[in-house]
Structure 1
Amino acid sequence: MHRPHPAEAEVADELAAVRPGLLERYAAELPGARAAVLTRLWRALAHEPLPWITGRQPGREGLALRLRDGRRLHGPTPDPYATAAYVTAVHLNGVAYDHPARLMTDLAVPHCADFAAELGHSVASLALSRAGQEGHANRWPSADWQWEQRVVDGHPYHPGCRSRPGFSVDEQLAYGPEHRPLVTLGTLPVRAEECLVTGAWPDELRDGGRLLLPVHPWQAAHVLKRTCEDGFAAHPLMSLRTLAVPGGPHVKTALSARLTSSVRDISVYSIGLSATLSAFAESLAARSDGLLHVTRTLGAATADSPDLAAVLRESPQTYAATDSGERVVPVAALATTLLPESPDWLAEFTRLTLAVGLRLLELGVALEAHGQNLLVVLSRTGAPLRLVYRDLADIRVSPARLTGHGIPVPELSGRIVTDDETTLRRKLFGSLVAGALAGTAGSATALREALETAVRDLPRTPDLVALVEEPLPTKALTLMRMSPGTPGDQWAQLPNPLVRRFVLEPGASDQ
């Protein structure tokens, strides 16, 4: 135990060359990073329908997993909603493992090698991210991008929370929001007739008959493999590929690298729908009694390639009355404040998000309301007032539900359109409850208490009944990473936090 993993040593060697002053803090952060990633991995092993786990047996001393080959894996009683790192070691046939990558390697299950490499990189990158936080964590942000930079640990439940394959240490320091860089985006001139453009493409990004497409410098170097003209400086947000232009819009760039689960390009499909979706979402938000705003897509363009595209969106700060002391905070950043520690505040925030999310779901729109897409407008005193939603690319729209409420159905096609009840509920419940709310609450107990208080005042719709009475869906993030031949989302079922008897039945998540 505590042997340096090759990925950790590789990062240390690079760090010694480019930022030696961080080496000592990086080394100090490694044990905590291992535990953080191992905790996320243990959540997956305990709850996801992984085909090589044939049984789960809870007991007084924790949870035992039976593997297909007869081996047994033992660890602490899992809390699927915990965000604190509480798993420091698990035991495979009596042998202790404190490093998630070594555990995954020795499990020797299908597709484990690539995933183990990602876990090793996730640990090393997480330690690097934490190493640069001294003197910054307790400062109250004054700019919107500074809120985004507070989310140091990445996805609260994904074992690949900080996996950035293809990024050197120097590139992580130069582009990772947690390192607080200022990034100069390049621009690539493309003839207008070769581009698909929706919305209004700004004059300052035109050069005669050519569009100047913003390009992330990593994308220019590693994917496009060409030099771009200097464009403009911007601050990276927590999604890494989206950056905030000071005093201007947010720019979503194509970044064809695998970050956590997905390769982050921008599909031609999403560019084509962006203007229609933006107008539709704006009209739908008007039905929320002022509790929801959706950031408008100002313009989007692609050179007929997911590797060369950009989307310009208005800043969420547009919806804060700054003269009244309001501020807009990404939900993922709330855990870095003291607000969630108040049960009353957490219950009020939960009530607000569920009221908005369930109302839109009833009308026919399922938001992917995870902590990155969903923001909350706070009063001067920190009270949650209303919500802001950004990035419409992965919502789901039900024509049948819209029609039932007399709402005109927009001209949409492809994966966004579905009337499947399970798909719609998974999209909202998995992102909002198992994601944003759980990550803010930080434990099953805190989440249950907030939900119990919040749901009392909500209309008893069929969707609310499903939320209260059925297992809670969540994306099976580890299963997805270990199923390279299976496209699309895969799902797991978590114990419903509204059921007080928090027991994991043997094999329940394998159903």
Structure 2
Amino acid sequence: MAEEAVAAELGLVRPALAGAYAAALPGARAAVLTRLWRALAYEPLPWVVARERGRGSLALTLADGARLEGPAPDPYATTAYVDAVVLDGRTYRQAARLMTALAVPHGTAFAAELDDSTASLALSRAGRAGADGDDEGPPAADWQWEQRVVDGHPYHPNCRSRPGFSVAEQLAYAPEHRPVVELGLVAVDREECLVGGEWPQRLRDGRRLLVPVHPWQAQHVLKTTGTEAGTITAHPLMALRTLAPDDGGPHVKTALSARLTSSVRDISVYSIETAAAVSAFAETLAARLEGRLHITRTLGAVSAHSPDLAAVLREPPERYAAAGTGERVVPVAALAETGLPGSAAWLARFARLALGVGLRALELGVALEAHGQNLLVVLSPAGEPLRLVYRDLADIRISPARLARHGMPVPPISGRLVTDDETVLRRKLFGSLVAGALGATAGSAAALGAALSAAVDVLPRTADTEALLSEPLPVKALTLMRLSPGTPGDQWTDLGSPLP
């Protein structure tokens, strides 16, 4: 079991955290089991043949005749409320052991990921419990908000799965442990690189380009120290592979060929090819949103024609806070750390802002992947949500037909970013913004429903708005995707409308 393996390694590399890790395990088990129960309750898993909802409970009938019972699920809950489920009379408290007992196709590999996620989550919580008071009060720098997001993805059972990372590497590189990371610089001849935008002079050495490389990538994939041409001292952000340099320069997105949550975090050649054009187009989009949305520009992108050796330089979101005003820029995933979502009135105001911007962008022709990591909010000194900041344009969707209807130029790109499919466009925005960012910020179906109800009157009356208000809410079937290794791309399920 990963839990025991992490405990053993922790005893060697950071014995002072051993007690906190042991204390964090029960809560981590419940957190991962709660996420798995959400999937079992709502995703179209082929071996779940019936769901029977009782008063405060749910019972699943499985294809082999087994019966699985647990509490009534809340698809938007962000607190762990499932500490045990019962399969044919036997109680399970660990997601990995439950998945193994279910004996479904591809379940063994997924059980190993769940085991890793639970142990890594307990390690993350132990690191926070062992912090020496540096989390009191607001952070000194906006990027520090990102390091306060300890539990990872709010709904994915693999919320903290980091296969391939030792305990020492998690402590050294994971943002919640607040390390300082030395990015290596690998020199590559200019003729051997694909470049988008302007690659800065400080990352050049004659005719060679200096590509920032994550130390995990350098050791495990590139098989080099990666520091021969120098280093950049930086702080890891929520995405782990994206870091804020200590000197305050552009954020650096590095290739990291490890599976974190669901995906291998490399940087595709396609994203480098399209980076400059998409970034320039995004400025046109932001101009149409009347100051309510800023989009961080991609300043430069480079690839050695390989997803394993590439990097992207991006504007830091904090540049969109008005200087000298006390404004702060906080990722939506970190809003719980501010305490603001505890107010229903504040949550309603935030929902009006986020939905108004997201639906207007969609009407114009751009579906943002506005989950809690990509979407940030500019807060006034009093905590009022003023405007939004969006970062990472690598997975938006652009509709040429919608752009044309609004007289907007179509960027000179093709490929997966471009589609006129209404279902794809709405899934991209609704699944990330409503079911993801807003749902997790609200923390329950009741709170999300109240916030959406309060926002309805100010939403633009478009076909997209009507679809949001009248149709089931699409959400990625995250567990089905992990149990379907032969099926490429996203898979989806529908949740009932959160509106009361």
- Above 0.5 in TM-score? yes
The CA distance in 1 between the partners of 2:352 and 2:97, in whole Å, is 42
The alpha carbon displacement at 1:132 in A equals 1.2
1:250-270 deviation per Cα after TM superposition (whole angstroms, max 9, x unaligned) = 000000000001000000000
**Corresponding residue for residue 207 of structure 1:** 205
The alpha carbon displacement at 1:491 in A equals 0.3
The alpha carbon displacement at 1:145 in A equals 2.1
Contact persistence 1:268–1:306 (CA under 8 A): yes
User: Does residue 60 of structure 2 align to residue 65 of structure 1?
Assistant: yes
Contact persistence 1:371–1:436 (CA under 8 A): yes
**Corresponding residue for residue 317 of structure 2:** 316
**Corresponding residue for residue 420 of structure 2:** 419
The CA distance in 2 between the partners of 1:220 and 1:68, in whole Å, is 45
**Corresponding residue for residue 452 of structure 1:** 453
The CA distance in 2 between the partners of 1:459 and 1:278, in whole Å, is 26
The alpha carbon displacement at 1:61 in A equals 4.2
The alpha carbon displacement at 1:138 in A equals 4.1
**Corresponding residue for residue 508 of structure 1:** none
**Corresponding residue for residue 266 of structure 2:** 265
**Corresponding residue for residue 217 of structure 2:** 219
Q: 1:43-58 residue pairs with structure 2 within 5 A?
A: 43-58=38-53
**Corresponding residue for residue 97 of structure 1:** 92
> One-letter code of the match for 2:40?
L
The CA distance in 1 between the partners of 2:105 and 2:439, in whole Å, is 30
**Corresponding residue for residue 469 of structure 2:** 468
Contact persistence 1:46–1:78 (CA under 8 A): yes
Indicate the RMSD between aligned Cα atoms, in angstroms.
0.8
**Corresponding residue for residue 22 of structure 2:** 27
Q: Secondary structure at the match of 2:240?
A: coil
The alpha carbon displacement at 1:483 in A equals 0.4
The CA distance in 1 between the partners of 2:458 and 2:293, in whole Å, is 18
The CA distance in 2 between the partners of 1:8 and 1:165, in whole Å, is 13
Contact persistence 2:360–2:460 (CA under 8 A): no
1:441-474 deviation per Cα after TM superposition (whole angstroms, max 9, x unaligned) = 0000000000000111112111011001111000
The alpha carbon displacement at 1:321 in A equals 1.2
The CA distance in 2 between the partners of 1:285 and 1:172, in whole Å, is 37
The CA distance in 2 between the partners of 1:316 and 1:365, in whole Å, is 20
Contact persistence 2:114–2:157 (CA under 8 A): yes
**Corresponding residue for residue 332 of structure 1:** 333
> One-letter code of the match for 1:47?
Y
1:382-433 deviation per Cα after TM superposition (whole angstroms, max 9, x unaligned) = 0000000000000000000001111111111111100000000000000000
Q: Secondary structure at the match of 2:394?
A: coil
The CA distance in 1 between the partners of 2:146 and 2:174, in whole Å, is 11
* Unaligned runs of at least 5 residues, structure 1: 1-5, 501-511
Contact persistence 1:182–1:235 (CA under 8 A): yes
Contact persistence 1:293–1:388 (CA under 8 A): yes
1:274-298 deviation per Cα after TM superposition (whole angstroms, max 9, x unaligned) = 0000000011100111000000000
Q: Secondary structure at the match of 1:132?
A: helix
Change (3 A) 1:99 1:343: same
Contact persistence 2:356–2:458 (CA under 8 A): no
Q: 1:326-475 residue pairs with structure 2 within 5 A?
A: 326-475=327-476
**Corresponding residue for residue 245 of structure 2:** 245
Contact persistence 2:359–2:460 (CA under 8 A): no
The alpha carbon displacement at 1:495 in A equals 1.4
1:32-61 deviation per Cα after TM superposition (whole angstroms, max 9, x unaligned) = 000000000000000000111111110114
The CA distance in 2 between the partners of 1:355 and 1:278, in whole Å, is 22
1:361-385 deviation per Cα after TM superposition (whole angstroms, max 9, x unaligned) = 0010000000000000000100000
The CA distance in 1 between the partners of 2:156 and 2:223, in whole Å, is 30
The alpha carbon displacement at 1:140 in A equals 1.5
> One-letter code of the match for 1:73?
L
> One-letter code of the match for 2:75?
P
The alpha carbon displacement at 1:139 in A equals 3.2
User: Does residue 43 of structure 2 align to residue 42 of structure 1?
Assistant: no
> One-letter code of the match for 1:285?
A
Aligned sequence identity (%):
72
Q: Which moved more, 1:394-403 or 1:61-70?
A: 61-70
Report the TM-score when normalising by structure 1.
0.96
Contact persistence 2:348–2:451 (CA under 8 A): yes
Contact persistence 1:30–1:124 (CA under 8 A): yes
Find the partner of 2:102 among 98, 107, 113: 107
**Corresponding residue for residue 72 of structure 2:** 77
> One-letter code of the match for 1:188?
V
Off by >4 Å, runs of 4+ in structure 1? none
User: Does residue 87 of structure 2 align to residue 86 of structure 1?
Assistant: no
The alpha carbon displacement at 1:122 in A equals 0.4
The CA distance in 1 between the partners of 2:209 and 2:359, in whole Å, is 40
User: Does residue 170 of structure 2 align to residue 172 of structure 1?
Assistant: yes
Contact persistence 1:250–1:312 (CA under 8 A): yes
> One-letter code of the match for 1:344?
A
Q: Secondary structure at the match of 1:44?
A: helix
Contact persistence 2:348–2:454 (CA under 8 A): yes
The CA distance in 2 between the partners of 1:39 and 1:336, in whole Å, is 21
Q: Secondary structure at the match of 1:335?
A: helix
Contact persistence 1:469–1:496 (CA under 8 A): yes
The CA distance in 2 between the partners of 1:457 and 1:385, in whole Å, is 16
The CA distance in 1 between the partners of 2:410 and 2:161, in whole Å, is 39
The CA distance in 2 between the partners of 1:490 and 1:203, in whole Å, is 43
Count of residue pairs brought into register by the alignment: 494
Q: Secondary structure at the match of 1:307?
A: coil
The CA distance in 2 between the partners of 1:136 and 1:493, in whole Å, is 41
The alpha carbon displacement at 1:226 in A equals 1.3
Q: 1:118-129 residue pairs with structure 2 within 5 A?
A: 118-129=113-124
**Corresponding residue for residue 506 of structure 1:** none
Contact persistence 1:335–1:439 (CA under 8 A): no
Q: Secondary structure at the match of 2:128?
A: coil
1:137-172 deviation per Cα after TM superposition (whole angstroms, max 9, x unaligned) = 443111122100000000000000000000000000
Q: Which moved more, 1:142-151 or 1:22-31?
A: 142-151
> One-letter code of the match for 2:425?
L
The alpha carbon displacement at 1:231 in A equals 1.1
The CA distance in 1 between the partners of 2:428 and 2:459, in whole Å, is 20
The CA distance in 1 between the partners of 2:497 and 2:170, in whole Å, is 37
> One-letter code of the match for 2:316?
S
Q: Which moved more, 1:145-154 or 1:223-232?
A: 223-232
